[in-house]
Structure 1
């Protein structure tokens, strides 16, 4: 047991002498393996426990440390920094941070504890030490500058990449704009062409209907012969037609569905419409049927013309126009008897009149 303890003490002493807890500093020993305490100046053997103050770099014997051997051994084993009582006092009273070099006696220790100041001790640096420090700082700054240069270079590359990408996007944007403008022009041309063709088809469709009339509000008869019904109504208004000179049919199977009468020429149509106007109101009973429905004659209009004619009649009522009529497939509107007739070819014509 004692043998092991001695071995541990020797290892700790060796560790301490190697400066493991004292920033690499070693105790000054003479040829007899003796050293001096910097406080009491007493000489003690190298094998005795001693500590180096972390603040003032002074060697202190066990007695002056006020620590027992176990505490010193623990400090050595745990590799902790130790501060002497003088430095501890200076720390607590916020006195000068310059550390005393040493004290020479117990009386001087008492003076120090009572507040007496001693000559400061400063660690001396040689020119070589200064050069080493400057070299380390230079190397550190040089390394940091290399890192900064690398970061700056990467940033420049990133900025250049973004700049090139932006220019490429601008070129692509201009190209897309040109294509869109060309497509817009082509679309406008196509729309204009479509509108023109639609009007042409509308004209052709209406021309095919120019010889037709529509008999409105004529109820469907039981076991009806539509050709015979149309013939009787037309005959009553004063126009005599042979049954082989026209063709009559219902538009749909619904009751009171209009009767489409297809004539051989436009003059016959105009003659029937004129006679109908001269005859006044004509009922189904007047024509030899049992119903009292008043029948009307209308032009045969395309679907678009029918919608436009309905809107024109509404416009006539809403805006106090006096006349609206159809001639040769065209819709006309007149404000008064003396005002000029206006041709309504599309809904935009009505909108322009409002403005």
Structure 2
């Protein structure tokens, strides 16, 4: 089946021309309508306008099909609308204005497509960001709830701690007061007692007889009936080599005070021969003997601390009177009543 290379329609029993160079078929009517009959003078060596040599005056006018004598029926060219055949108009040159309009239209479509793509991409990313922000908000809300709960708990615990501090302060004050009262009661229970220190120990010793013998040395008339009890007490420092102290309980504080005063007066009257073991008839090496008040454990610890402090601060006198401890730096200075360790620490 032959087709005209000009109009692209089928050549049906119609004379046609064949290009001697490209061998394409053409309707004679299509050639004549474009170039006239002058172009068909030599049919044997005829060349189609596309293959003919061109000169400077030659134009590039394409071959026009003869639309009056023949309808275009090819399915690639014809368009059917409502069952009728619509003839395709011949191609015409495109102007610069039309090119601009086409370019503008393409750019407009490209920009629209680009905007739609960007908008779609931005919407997708924004959706992801919104989801992330929503999750962050949920996390922040959760953390805020936890913070508020923690803050409430902390406030409650702070209030509880404040109350506990107040209660602790009150308890400390109560304990201090009770300790003072207990110490006072313990010291009061020792109001009839004296403590004899550094007296050498002997197996089978009679402490009551020793006390009566001591009272004779210091010129204090004490009978056995005035002595309720006499015993040695355990040492606080088990490593100490000093003998155990003797606690003597008299029948009254008056008897105790008389015995203490007599021992003090004796030592003052005999500075070179103070109370010692030889005066009491105890053999062995000569050992000084001390008669002091029987202090409670708290007062005894405070008395030892006061003596140590006196050495550090050059205090000359430290003494005990009726269970109370006093210190004096010199003969002319005022005495200090040592109530507790805080009072001792405040000395200078």
Q: Tell me what 2:256 maps to.
A: 269
Q: Tell me what 1:168 maps to.
A: 149
Match of 1:333, SS?
strand
Is the CA contact 2:293–2:322 (under 8 Å) kept in the aligned structure 1?
Answer: no
5 Å-filtered alignment, 1:218-257, equals 218-246=199-227, 247-252=229-234, 256-257=243-244
Gaps of 5+ in 2: 1-7, 10-21, 24-102, 236-240, 268-273
Match of 1:210, SS?
coil
Tell me by how many angstroms 1:127 deviates. 6.3
Equivalent residue in structure 2 for 1:320, among 314, 334, 341: 314
Match of 1:325, SS?
strand
Match of 1:144, SS?
helix
Q: Which deviations, in whole Å up to 9, do the C-alpha atoms of 1:201-257 show, x marking residues without a partner?
A: 000000111211111111112322222222222222112322232111111398721
CA RMSD of aligned residues (A): 2.8
1:283 and 2:276 aligned = yes
Cα distance in 2 for residues equivalent to 1:283 and 1:327: 23
TM-score, normalising length from structure 2?
0.61
Tell me by how many angstroms 1:171 deviates. 2.6
Is the CA contact 1:230–1:259 (under 8 Å) kept in the aligned structure 2?
Answer: no
Q: Tell me what 2:191 maps to.
A: 210
Tell me by how many angstroms 1:131 deviates. 4.7
TM-score, normalising length from structure 1?
0.60
Task: Count the aligned residue pairs.
Answer: 237
Q: Tell me what 1:149 maps to.
A: 130
Q: Choose 144-153 or 209-218, whichever is displaced more.
A: 144-153
Task: Point out the structure with max Rg over C-alpha.
Answer: 2
Match of 1:349, SS?
helix
Q: Tell me what 1:337 maps to.
A: 331
Whichever structure has more helix as a proportion of its residues is 1
Is the CA contact 1:316–1:322 (under 8 Å) kept in the aligned structure 2?
Answer: yes
Is the CA contact 1:237–1:275 (under 8 Å) kept in the aligned structure 2?
Answer: yes
Gaps of 5+ in 1: 1-29, 32-41, 44-121
Q: Which deviations, in whole Å up to 9, do the C-alpha atoms of 1:22-70 show, x marking residues without a partner?
A: xxxxxxxx99xxxxxxxxxx99xxxxxxxxxxxxxxxxxxxxxxxxxxx
